[in-house]
Chains A and B, each alone.
Chain A
Amino acid sequence: FPVAQEKEKQDVQYAKKYLENFYDFKEEKHSLFRTKDIVNRMADKIREMQSFFGLEVTGELNQKTLDMMKQPRCGIPDVRSYS
C-alpha cells in the first residue's frame, strides 16, 4: 500500500533498525562514501528481506515492506550470520 507521507523519515529509521537486528545491516560511520554506500547497502539488505518474505524485490522501502517490518515477530535474525 502507498506510504502515509508524514511518516517517511521515521520509517527509514525504523527500517534501518530492523535491518540491523535481523539482516546484519551495519551502518559504518567512517566510510568516505558514507551516504551513497549506506544507501546501496541498505537497498541490498531490503532486497534480502523482501526476498525472504516473498515480497516484490525492489530494494525500495515501500509500504508493503515497511508494514512487514512492523509485524510482531521473533527476535532471532533471519540471516545465517547470526551468532
Chain B
Amino acid sequence: AFPHSPTWKKEEVTYRILNYTPDMLQADVEEAIARAFQLWSSVTPLRFTRIHGGQADIMISFAAGFHGDFYSFDGPGGTLAHAYSPGSGIGGDAHFDEDENWTKFTTNSGYNLFLVAAHELGHSLGLSHSNVFGALMYPIYMATDTRNYQLHQDDINGIQALYGPPKESAAPPTKAFPPQEPTDMVPAEEPTQMSPREEPTEMTPSKPPQRPDDCDPHLTFDAITTLRGETLFFKDSYVWRKSPYFSEIEHDTIFSFWPSLIAGFDAAYEVDKRDRVLFFKDDQYWAVSGYSIDSGFPKPIQNLGFPTSVRKIDAAVHDQSTKRTYFFVGNKYWSFNENTQSMERGYPRKIAADYHGISHPIDAAFQKNGYFYFFHGSTQFEVDIKRKKLIRTMKSNSWFNC
C-alpha cells in the first residue's frame, strides 16, 4: 500500500470520465473503465458509480506530456499512466498518457486500456505496486488475453487487506466478466499470453511437457539462434542458454524472456547487424531486440516472399558474411537477401543439391565461427559455410558439456 495506507472511508465511490482518447470509440473507453472497476468491486465491498458532472472521487482523463501535475508523461512508450492514492482533490485520480496507442484489443501495437485502467484503479483504491510477476499491480505492462481476466491472488490479498472481502460471500467469485472482445486486430488469431509458463496465475488446461535432460541422447530442438554472442536452444517452452562467458548451461523458459510470445517456435535466427532476432511459428513471425518485441508483429511469413503454399518454416539461419538468410522447408530452402529484404531468384532449391549429406527436414540451424550447424532429430551437422561442405556430424546436445 501507499505510505499510511490511505483508503476510501466509504463503500460508494464515484468516478467520472473527463475526456476520451481518439484512439478508441467512446463506448469502448467507457466499457473498458467499467470492466476495470468491476474487477475490483467483485472482490471488495466497494461499489462504483459513474457521474457525468461535478467532482467525482476518481477523475479519469487522457493527457500528453505536461498535464498539470508534477509527473509529466513522456511520449510513446515508457510511462503509460499513473494514478493517485485515495484522498481529496487529485487523490484517486487516474491519468492516461494520450501519446500511447490505446486499444480494446490485446495486441503488440497498442496498450489495452482495460488492463492499464484496472492497474491504475488499483492505485486509486490504495494499492501500490506488487513485485509478484503476473499480478495486475506488477508495474510492467503485460499484454494478456483479457477475456475472462481474473485478478491474481496477490491482488485480491492486497485489496482485501485494505477493504475486506465482498459482503455477499467470503470467497471472491471465479469469473469477473463474460467474454467481451476479440483478442487482436491483425488477421491471425494468436493469443498473446504464453502458456505454459513457470508461474501459472491463470487457468491453463494441460500440463506442459517436462524439460528434457541436457544429456538425453535423443534430445531434439525446435529452433536455435544466436543472440548477442550467446546461443539459445529452444524446445517447447524451454530454453537452453549458452554464453561464452559462463561454463554452465542456463535453463530458462521462453516466457521468462518474452512473455507474450507463444511457445513452440518453428525457427529462429539473428541478424546481428540490426540487433534483431526473428522467431517463426506456423505462418507468422516476430522480430525482437533483446527482450523487446518490435511493434507491428506478428506478421505473415508471406511478407518475406514465401508463396501461400508455405505454411511454416522448418529452420532458418543467417550468414553474416553474405547478409543472406536461408530458410529450410521440407527438402527445399530459400535464400533471403537481408539488404534488399527480398527472396533471391532461383529459389527454392533442393537442400540435397547444395548441402550433401545433410538429412532433412532440418529442425533447427544456427551459424557460428564460419560454420552452419544443422539439426535433424538428435543429429547435428557441421557445415563449412563457404564451401557448403559437411565437416562432421555430432549429437544434437554436443554444446551442453555432456
8 Å CB interface, B40-58 against A: none
Report the minimal beta-carbon distance from A26 to chain B, rounded to whole angstroms: 15
Main secondary structure of the interface of A (DSSP, over half): loop
CA A70 – CA B3 in complex, angstroms? 27
B interface size (C-beta, 8 A): 32
Set of chain B residues within 8 Å of A2, measured between Cβ atoms:
228-230
Tell me whether B141 and A83 are in contact (CB under 8 A). Answer: no
Known: A74-B119, A82-B2. A54 touches B131 (CB 8 A): yes
B376 an interface residue at 8 Å Cβ cutoff? no
8 Å CB interface, B53-81 against A: 71, 73, 77-81
Set of chain B residues within 8 Å of A52, measured between Cβ atoms:
131
A68 an interface residue at 8 Å Cβ cutoff? yes
Set of chain A residues within 8 Å of B228, measured between Cβ atoms:
1-4, 63
Tell me whether A78 and B290 are in contact (CB under 8 A). Answer: no
B139 an interface residue at 8 Å Cβ cutoff? yes
B321 an interface residue at 8 Å Cβ cutoff? no
B385 an interface residue at 8 Å Cβ cutoff? no
A10 an interface residue at 8 Å Cβ cutoff? no
Tell me whether A67 and B292 are in contact (CB under 8 A). Answer: yes
B395 an interface residue at 8 Å Cβ cutoff? no
Set of chain A residues within 8 Å of B128, measured between Cβ atoms:
76, 80, 82
A71 an interface residue at 8 Å Cβ cutoff? yes
Contact with B along A44-83 (1 / 0, CB 8 A): 0000000011100000000110011011111110101111
Contact with A along B65-103 (1 / 0, CB 8 A): 000000101000111111100000000000000001000
Q: Which of A1, A21, A80 contacts B290 (CB 8 A)?
A: A1
8 Å CB interface, A1-30 against B: 1-4, 21-22
Tell me whether B3 and A71 are in contact (CB under 8 A). Answer: no
CA A23 – CA B292 in complex, angstroms? 22
Report the minimal beta-carbon distance from A62 to chain B, rounded to whole angstroms: 11
Q: Which of B83, B111, B129, B227 contacts A78 (CB 8 A)?
A: B129
Set of chain B residues within 8 Å of A76, measured between Cβ atoms:
82-83, 123, 128-129, 139
Report the minimal beta-carbon distance from B239 to chain A, rounded to whole angstroms: 12
Set of chain A residues within 8 Å of B275, measured between Cβ atoms:
4
Set of chain B residues within 8 Å of A74, measured between Cβ atoms:
79-82, 116, 119-120, 123, 129, 139, 141
24 contacts between A and B (CB under 8 A): A1-B291, A2-B230, A3-B228, A4-B228, A4-B275, A53-B140, A64-B291, A68-B140, A71-B292, A72-B79, A72-B141, A73-B78, A73-B80, A74-B119, A74-B120, A74-B123, A75-B71, A76-B83, A76-B128, A78-B139, A80-B2, A80-B3, A80-B128, A82-B3
Question: Apart from A76-B139, A80-B128, what 17 extra A-B contacts exist at CB < 8 Å?
Answer: A22-B139, A53-B131, A63-B290, A70-B291, A71-B291, A71-B292, A72-B111, A72-B141, A73-B140, A73-B141, A74-B119, A75-B71, A75-B73, A76-B83, A76-B123, A76-B128, A78-B129
Residues of B within 8 A of A (CB): 2-3, 71, 73, 77-83, 100, 111, 116, 119-120, 123, 128-129, 131, 133, 139-141, 227-230, 275, 290-292
Closest CB pairs A-B (n = 7): A75-B82, A75-B79, A67-B291, A72-B141, A2-B228, A71-B140, A67-B290
